[in-house]
């Protein structure tokens, strides 16, 4: 039985009710959901990066672009440009970033140099336009800085 030997919890949030996850992940989901529910409107996009698109579903917030997982946009240069344009246009108030995307993330994605460039471009954008306001055990929550307008080209 998966998770039988690990501390686990059954989620009660409407979109994931009944899902059994490790206790640490349940805490992450609970804390993130509480933050998002308190600080955003139901129809307000929140940028989940780099592979956190599933959290948009869990917290019931729209995606910033048509790419729920940012890494999907790396398949095609024009798709990445579209994602960045959408990010700059929408200027979401909050960004959720994985503290550690996992041991295989760099090995799997950064073998292709353009993927690393795309990742770095988005990270620079986040660092230039956002400031850390909170965190959960595995996520960093950023809020958009005041007075940092984007130049949309």
- pLDDT at res. 153: 47
Q: Are 30 and 12 in contact (CB under 8 A)?
A: no
C-beta neighbour count of 43 within 10 angstroms:
8
* 50 upstream amide cis, omega within 30 of 0: yes
Q: Read off the pTM.
A: 0.91
Torsion sign over Cα 132, 147, 50, 63 = positive
Q: Give pLDDT tens digits along the chain (153 positions).
A: 677 888 999 999 988 999 999 999 999 999 999 999 999 999 999 999 999 999 999 999 999 999 999 999 999 999 999 999 999 999 999 999 999 988 899 999 999 999 999 999 999 999 999 999 999 999 999 999 987 667 554
Structure tokens at 41: 């409107």
- pLDDT at res. 151: 59
Instruction: Write down the residue that tokens 């292709």 correspond to.
Output: 112
Separation CA 72–CA 120 (nearest Å): 15
DSSP reduced 3-state for 1: coil
């Amino acid at each position: 039985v998966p998770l039988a030997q690990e501390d686990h919890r059954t989620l009660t949030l409407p979109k994931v009710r009944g899902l059994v996850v490790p206790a640490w992940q349940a805490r992450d989901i609970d804390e993130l959901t509480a933050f998002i529910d308190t600080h955003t409107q139901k129809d307000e996009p929140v940028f989940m990066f780099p592979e956190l698109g599933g959290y948009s579903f869990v917290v019931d917030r729209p995606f910033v672009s048509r790419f729920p997982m940012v890494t999907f946009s790396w398949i095609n240069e024009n798709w990445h440009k579209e994602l960045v344009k959408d990010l700059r246009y929408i200027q979401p108030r909050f960004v959720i970033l994985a503290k550690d995307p996992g041991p295989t993330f760099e090995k799997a994605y950064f073998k292709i140099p353009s993927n690393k460039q795309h990742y770095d471009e988005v990270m620079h954008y986040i660092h230039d336009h956002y400031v850390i306001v909170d965190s959960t055990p595995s996520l960093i929550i950023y809020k958009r800085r005041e007075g940092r307008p984007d130049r949309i080209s």
